[in-house]
């Protein structure tokens, strides 16, 4: 029997920390391929460009 889990949520950060958080997430996304479990997880962290500082 297979299981599927889904979690939805958000990150909440101060405006002065947002750029650093974006850089860390983008760095992690580059370091993991999409064919791995961490890569699949990291691929889901997205936002629109208008939200970036």
Percentage of residues in the chain with pLDDT exceeding 70?
A: 77
Residue 53: inside a domain = no
Residue 22: inside a domain = yes
Residue range(s) defining the domain that contains residue 27: 15-42
Residue 23: inside a domain = yes
Residue 30: inside a domain = yes
Q: What is the pLDDT of residues 23-43, one digit of tens each?
A: 888 888 888 877 788 887 777
Residue 5: inside a domain = no
* Residues contacting 51, CB < 8 A, separation 6+: none
Report the distance separating Cα 52 and Cα 32, nearest Å.
22
Residue 2: inside a domain = no
* Of 24 and 48, the one with more pLDDT: 24
Q: How many domains does the chain have?
A: 1
Q: Three-class SS of residue 13?
A: coil
Residue 7: inside a domain = no
* Of 44 and 48, the one with more pLDDT: 44
């Amino acid at each position: 029997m297979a299981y599927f889990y889904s979690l939805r949520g958000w990150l909440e950060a101060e405006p002065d920390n947002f750029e650093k958080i974006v850089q860390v997430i983008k760095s992690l996304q580059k370091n993991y391929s999409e064919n791995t479990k961490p890569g699949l997880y990291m691929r889901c962290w997205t936002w629109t460009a208008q939200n970036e500082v």
